[in-house]
């Protein structure tokens, strides 16, 4: 494992040299440029360019250097904006994407297709896993680039500390999202690496969703904030609903175990222990 400072995954030469030296037998490709609606809208070129480069370099070098198996982590945003709910794996490429994150989604779809192409042409054992929205200890709490859950957690915490009477929540509060703890994702990845070897993608989620307003209320309860939540309806909502059909991975024998409330409480404890790095 290398940090981004130690290994530039957007450089094919650097990635190839890494695989030549290390010769990894198994690869989990989790590296990506990620962010919420604001980041996707602000940096569309970087989201498509960097993600295409990283995944292309890693998948190709893994195959070229004889890696036994590769797991590619996609995203639930690959599915059409108005896909059937819960979203089955076969709804991929059946309709237009959500415009606020289409750059990231297109890159991830290309990664899926590259895995399938290398399997088809070269027999490379590459599988693709589509997780729902992730959260947990070590999350990104930068207010400019973070996803909704860590952003809400930090903003509500800071409102409590400053004794502010209200916190603004972007959008109408009605979109529904599903949230998976990172430890559950790790467990799913291990399960699939050991028990799955097919070209079809596999959704990974909890099978339940929650509205953004309900999420904000849950975070408020965990933080212990007593102020009001105010909706800013002028801000974008994104996709109306993103709930994954997880029957395929359930049939393989895996189910999520960590409840959303327990996971948020653990994530908040981690944030409290590391909040100094977000000040200033």
Residues with a catalytic annotation lie at 104
Let me know the angle formed at the C-alpha of 91 by 88 and 96, rounded to the nearest 5 degrees.
Answer: 135
Whose tokens are 């609606």? That residue is 37
170 is in an annotated binding site: yes
76 is in an annotated binding site: yes
CA 133 to chain centre: 5
113 is in an annotated binding site: no
231 is in an annotated binding site: no
74 is in an annotated binding site: yes
Whether the ω angle into residue 108 lies within 30 degrees of 0, i.e. cis, is no
- What is the C-alpha R_g of the chain? 19
220 is in an annotated binding site: no
DSSP 7: -
Contacts of 128 (CB under 8 A, 6+ apart): 71, 72, 73, 74, 111, 112, 115, 116, 201, 202
132 is in an annotated binding site: yes
131 is in an annotated binding site: yes
Bind-site residues for NADP(+): 73-76, 108, 131-134, 147
Bind-site residues: 73-76, 108, 131-134, 147, 155, 170, 177, 237
Bind-site residues for substrate: 155, 170, 177, 237
């Amino acid at each position: 494992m290398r940090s981004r400072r130690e290994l530039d995954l957007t450089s094919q030469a650097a990635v190839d040299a890494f695989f030549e030296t290390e010769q990894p037998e198994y690869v989990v490709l989790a590296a990506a440029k990620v962010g919420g609606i604001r980041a996707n809208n602000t940096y569309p070129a970087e989201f498509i360019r960097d993600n295409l480069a990283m995944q292309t370099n890693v998948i190709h070098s893994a195959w070229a250097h004889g890696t036994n198996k590769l797991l590619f982590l996609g995203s639930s945003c690959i599915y059409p904006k108005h896909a059937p709910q819960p979203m089955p794996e076969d709804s991929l490429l059946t309709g237009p994407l959500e415009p606020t994150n289409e750059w990231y989604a297109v890159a991830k779809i290309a990664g899926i297709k590259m895995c399938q192409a290398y399997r088809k042409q070269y027999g490379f054992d590459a599988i693709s896993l589509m997780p729902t929205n992730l959260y947990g200890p070590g999350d990104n709490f930068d207010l400019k680039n973070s996803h909704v859950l860590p952003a809400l957690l930090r903003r509500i915490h800071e409102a409590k500390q400053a004794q502010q009477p209200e916190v603004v929540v972007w959008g109408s509060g009605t979109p529904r999202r599903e949230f998976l703890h990172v430890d559950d994702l790790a467990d799913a990845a291990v399960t699939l690496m050991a028990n799955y070897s097919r070209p079809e993608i596999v959704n990974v989620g909890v099978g339940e969703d929650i509205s953004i307003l309900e999420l904000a209320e849950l975070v408020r309860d965990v933080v212990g904030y007593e102020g009001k939540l105010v909706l800013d309806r002028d801000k974008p909502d994104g996709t109306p609903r993103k709930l994954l059909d997880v029957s395929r991975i359930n049939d393989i024998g895996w189910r999520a175990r960590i409840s959303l409330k327990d996971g948020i409480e653990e994530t908040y404890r981690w944030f409290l222990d590391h909040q100094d790095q977000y000040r200033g």
